[in-house]
Structure 1
Amino acid sequence: MEKKTVSKFVSIIFISIMALIWVIPLLYTFFSSFKSEADIQSNAFTLLPINWVIDNYQDVLFKNTSAPVAKWFMNSLTISVSHTVLVLVIVSLAGYGYSRMKFKGRNAIFAFLMASMMFPAVVNLIPLYKIIDTLGWVNNFLAAIVPGSAAVFNIFLVRQFMQGIPIDFDESARVDGASDFQIFTKLILPLIKPVLTVVALFTFTGSWNDFLWPTIAFNDIEKMPITPGLQLLQGMYALDIGHALTGALIAILPTFILYLFTQKYFMESLSLSSGVKG
């Protein structure tokens, strides 16, 4: 057997094992959400339910007023979608400014922004909370939508991608009478869809899965996103595994569906080979 064939075979085995390690807990959670609590306790290591029930979903979604999972789900969806749209607008405009427009201090300002990435995000929690408290945004969706919308790494990513687009395109458009706004919307935006796809996917996922900041910014149960809400749900159902697993499954559903239907674009976008300079 050739060395290349052996290497390929070992790689397939390794990838398969890693996939099983990831998939098995997910499958267990899915099937356990359709088990009764007695079934889970008596048949903990059985994958499929003995009797399929939907009581866990009915209880978690519709019969629990002290932990409104359906409300949390819609809160998270509203916050994540709004935050993603805001991020795409800001980073695309900022990337255009730093890569295509010439103004005094452009490189110095960008270098300062890049230097700010050296500080961990946790150091901003206290001043950020003071800001949203002053603005009256505590227990307001804006507290989760606006902060982080100008993430430096996203701006850097978009800027680098734009710099791979020949500047001759801009000059040709200006000769035809196009303004900067027209160049940005009609020329640049269609060309940077790959990198914006990456930014959108990671932004939505990061916003949906964010736990620390929403825990600080929200103390009203009705306004809470689903990720910090799960902590409350697990506290209520500490001894009820089926309900806790059902809540966790509902929480991961949007991101799972998102990657399921966008994996093709995600994999194509990761290389960024069509726009980033080597």
Structure 2
Amino acid sequence: MPSKRKVIALILNILKYAFLIAGAIFTVLPFVWMIASSLKTPAEIVQVPPAIFPKAAQWSNYKVAWNAAPFAKYLLNTVIVTVCTTIGVLITTVLSAFAFSRLEFPGKKLIFSLFLATLMIPGEMLIITNYITIMKLQWIDTYQAMIVPWISSVFYIYLLTQFFMQVPNELYLAAKVDKCSDLKFMLRIMVPMNKQAIITIAILNIISSWNAFLWPLLVTNSDGMRVLSHGLIRFQTEAGASYELIMAASCILVMPIIIVYLFLRKYIIEGVTRSGLKG
């Protein structure tokens, strides 16, 4: 009987790992195809049946793609927008989460409920009103237009508020007895105890800002204010698309963010799986 259970457990483990391996293959395959396609010739791109890997790697595709558009300027703009929006999101999120989790003020529950209600509004519905606001402020084709509307996020505020509420209130009361200010308590106690969640929010915002396409396209007119994601449009012409160059430019676009994710992925896992305080 025990041996039969071991056999069943072994079969279940094999099936489990087979399912996980298949899922990993399907996840990685698009990236492998993108990298392989970026090294192909135009003839190999349209070859039927398609070949996964090129006969000879065309590393010159990256040079051609980089020179086809001012990618250096696009990269600078993307870094500026990503860094500024991330700093803004962290400041507004930490301050708001602390206020909702520890401070008492009139209408706190109502305001928090209204914040949560906005999560049900699709982001596309806000594009027109945000664009009109940017136009009235005369911010079109400026960094402010790409940064200011995205320096706060209700979802991040809600997420961090839940983490802050897990910190025992006795710590806050003890700090107040010792005449510790709210700002000092937040910076010295709340932030260090929830650094995994804060880093997770920063990483998620970096990814979304780096990949932003529609909003920067709407609020910028000149080529000098475009971001990296707009560089892919350069390879679309009336005669067709240069798919090998699109793939090379796509690699240039996604590789920095993949590297950042690989180095900081443990913070995302810790921030998502952490559900309470121990001890």
TM-score (norm 1): 0.90
Check whether the contact 1:162–1:275 (CA below 8 A) recurs between aligned residues. no
Deviates more, 1:31-40 or 1:7-16: 31-40
Query: 2:50 aligns to what SS in structure 1?
Result: coil
1:38 offset after TM fit, Å? 4.2
Query: Is 1:255 equivalent to 2:274 in the alignment?
Result: no
Q: Provide Cα deviations, 1:186-225, integer angstroms capped at 9, x if missing partner.
A: 1111111111122112111111222221221122222111
2:219 alignment counterpart: 217
Aligned with 1:37 (options 30, 33, 42): 42
1:83 alignment counterpart: 85
1:89 offset after TM fit, Å? 0.8
Query: Is 1:4 equivalent to 2:6 in the alignment?
Result: no
Check whether the contact 2:44–2:51 (CA below 8 A) recurs between aligned residues. no
Matches within 5 A, 1:109-128: 109-128=111-130
1:86 offset after TM fit, Å? 0.8
Check whether the contact 1:237–1:243 (CA below 8 A) recurs between aligned residues. no
Aligned with 2:31 (options 26, 30, 49): 26
2:146 alignment counterpart: 144
TM-score (norm 2): 0.89
Q: Within 1, Cα distance between the matches of 2:277 and 2:82?
A: 27
1:231 alignment counterpart: 233
1:95 alignment counterpart: 97
Q: Within 1, Cα distance between the matches of 2:79 and 2:23?
A: 30
Query: Is 1:53 equivalent to 2:58 in the alignment?
Result: yes
1:114 offset after TM fit, Å? 1.1
1:179 offset after TM fit, Å? 0.8
Structure 2 CA distance for partners of 1:225 and 1:275, relative to 1, 3 Å: farther
Structure 2 CA distance for partners of 1:275 and 1:138, relative to 1, 3 Å: farther
Check whether the contact 2:166–2:277 (CA below 8 A) recurs between aligned residues. yes
Query: Is 1:17 equivalent to 2:22 in the alignment?
Result: yes
Structure 1 runs of 4+ aligned residues shifted over 6 Å read none
Q: Within 2, Cα distance between the matches of 1:69 and 1:267?
A: 33
Query: 1:219 aligns to what SS in structure 2?
Result: coil
Q: Within 2, Cα distance between the matches of 1:251 and 1:163?
A: 38
Check whether the contact 1:195–1:269 (CA below 8 A) recurs between aligned residues. yes
Q: Within 2, Cα distance between the matches of 1:235 and 1:68?
A: 17
Counterpart code for 1:224: R
Structure 2 CA distance for partners of 1:44 and 1:239, relative to 1, 3 Å: farther
1:126 offset after TM fit, Å? 0.9
Q: Within 2, Cα distance between the matches of 1:2 and 1:142?
A: 63
**Size of the alignment, in residue pairs?**
273
Q: RMSD of the alignment, in Å?
A: 2.2
Check whether the contact 1:237–1:244 (CA below 8 A) recurs between aligned residues. no
Deviates more, 1:101-110 or 1:37-46: 37-46
Structure 2 CA distance for partners of 1:38 and 1:127, relative to 1, 3 Å: same
1:264 alignment counterpart: 266
Counterpart code for 1:254: P
Q: Structure 1 regions of 5+ residues with no counterpart?
A: none
Identity of aligned residues (%): 28
Q: Structure 2 regions of 5+ residues with no counterpart?
A: 1-5
Q: Within 2, Cα distance between the matches of 1:183 and 1:237?
A: 62
Check whether the contact 2:44–2:50 (CA below 8 A) recurs between aligned residues. no
Q: Provide Cα deviations, 1:42-66, integer angstroms capped at 9, x if missing partner.
A: 587333333333221111213x2xx
Q: Within 1, Cα distance between the matches of 2:276 and 2:87?
A: 23
Structure 2 CA distance for partners of 1:173 and 1:237, relative to 1, 3 Å: farther
Structure 2 CA distance for partners of 1:100 and 1:168, relative to 1, 3 Å: same
1:39 offset after TM fit, Å? 4.7
